[in-house]
A and B are shown apart, each in its own frame.
Chain A
Amino acid sequence: MGLMMSASEGVAQEINDKQLVRTLGRVESAAPAIDVALLAEEASASAGKGVANLPNWQKLSKLSQLIVDIEFENGSVAIEPKSYRTVGLIADALHHPNLRRYKFLVVGHTSSTGDAQHNLELSAQRANAITEALSTTFAIAPDRLYSIGVGEEWPLDTANPKAAENRRVQLINLGLVK
């Protein structure tokens, strides 16, 4: 198993924790503040209707972030062993001195296969499972981690909402820990 990152230019390259640290550490001083509770409220009120155009969800696009594939057992919150490495890489990056001052949001996404409300709940549980693994197995301080599920409401491939590409996890730098 290798871990690869294809950058936005479409060039696949080997990724390591140093690249993760660099990518996640690019923080603009003008980055918008994010209210995670508000995001959750909006996602919950929008099940089946999408969130991409909601003002608070739009703000997330302006923040330093990565998209990762983390595979789960079917219908479960259990991370597949083949994805342990991805979670470990994230942990290595979050422990680096360049990122230790920052807090992060884990956003779980699904494809549109299945019921929208169920997808919303499962994605939230899975995002929570990732932050729990990071804070327990990998000792990241829990006050640096937030999780939220958005289900099928924000597809990457809007033309094909059932595409596997839409199942993903976003890791977003929320700025300095207060």
Chain B
Amino acid sequence: MTNRIAVFGGTIVLTVLALATDGRADTISYADAVSLLANDCGSDIRKYCKGLNLGGGRIQTCLEQNEGKVSPACTVTLANVITSISQRQSAQSSFATICKHDIAQYCKSVKGEGNVLSCLNKATRVNEGQCGQAIIDAGWR
């Protein structure tokens, strides 16, 4: 089946990088992170980074090189977005280690990472522990 995604004009729903009580920022999705970047840095990117692609750190480098010219909101957002993306990556790579005990306890016979995740998400006790938090930080709940 082929589906079609189209981008329509409208309002961006901003996800705020809220600080949790322990001082650690909650992670947000990659989509929300780069939406913030597009919203707060879009005009600066079009002005100072024309022709440069998002990949290879080129937009980041360009915005940093033009720090004196880009809007203060963009500078703050860029730093937040970089932090958020790296936090989510780190949560995703530490999932297997953090959840090892819960997997052994609740989902021992389950095969395949996707099935293990579904199993963990159904186990109520997991939700309350570190593994549950890791799943949330990874963006998988």
Give chain A's interface residues, CB within 8 Å of chain B: 1-8, 15, 17, 23, 25-26, 64-69, 71, 73, 76-79, 81-89, 91-92, 95-101, 129, 132-139, 168
Q: How distant is the Cα of A7 from the Cα of B4 in the complex, in angstroms?
A: 6
Residues 34 to 53 of chain B near chain A (Cβ within 8 Å): 34-35, 37-38, 41-42, 45-46, 49-53
Interface core residue of B8, B41, B112 (most chain A CB under 10 Å): B8
Bitwise, B89-115 to A at CB < 8 A (1) or not (0) is 100100000000000000000001110
Residues of B within 8 A of A73 (CB): 50-51
Asked whether A4 and B113 contact (CB < 8 A) given A92-B139, A132-B53, the answer is no
**18 A-B contacts, Cβ less than 8 Å apart?**
A4-B6, A5-B5, A6-B6, A17-B139, A69-B7, A81-B38, A81-B46, A84-B35, A85-B34, A86-B5, A89-B29, A89-B31, A91-B30, A95-B92, A96-B140, A97-B114, A132-B53, A139-B89
Residues of B within 8 A of A5 (CB): 3-6
Interface check B85, CB cutoff 8 A? yes
- Give the interface residue-count category, chain B: 35 or more
8 closest A-B pairs by beta carbon, nearest first, are: A88-B31, A133-B55, A98-B114, A132-B55, A81-B42, A81-B38, A84-B34, A97-B113
Interface check B124, CB cutoff 8 A? no
Residues of B within 8 A of A7 (CB): 1, 3
Identify whether the interface residues of A are mostly helix, strand, loop, or mixed: mixed
Are A6 and B4 interface neighbours, CB within 8 A? yes
Q: Which of B9-17, B64-72, B125-133 lies on the face that meets chain A?
A: B9-17
Are A135 and B55 interface neighbours, CB within 8 A? yes
Interface check B134, CB cutoff 8 A? no
Give chain B's interface residues, CB within 8 Å of chain A: 1-13, 29-35, 37-38, 41-42, 45-46, 49-57, 85, 89, 92, 112-114, 116-117, 139-140
Residues of B within 8 A of A91 (CB): 30-31
Are B3 and A138 interface neighbours, CB within 8 A? no
Q: How distant is the Cα of A87 from the Cα of B55 in the complex, in angstroms?
A: 11
Interface core residue of A1, A3, A95 (most chain B CB under 10 Å): A1
Asked whether A97 and B117 contact (CB < 8 A) given A2-B8, A8-B1, A85-B7, the answer is yes
Closest residue of chain A to B114 (Cβ to Cβ) is: A98
Asked whether A15 and B5 contact (CB < 8 A) given A73-B50, A77-B53, the answer is yes
Q: How distant is the Cα of A40 from the Cα of B36 in the complex, in angstroms?
A: 36
Q: How distant is the Cα of A8 from the Cα of B38 in the complex, in angstroms?
A: 29
Q: How distant is the Cα of A30 from the Cα of B54 in the complex, in angstroms?
A: 36
Asked whether A84 and B54 contact (CB < 8 A) given A97-B140, A100-B113, the answer is yes
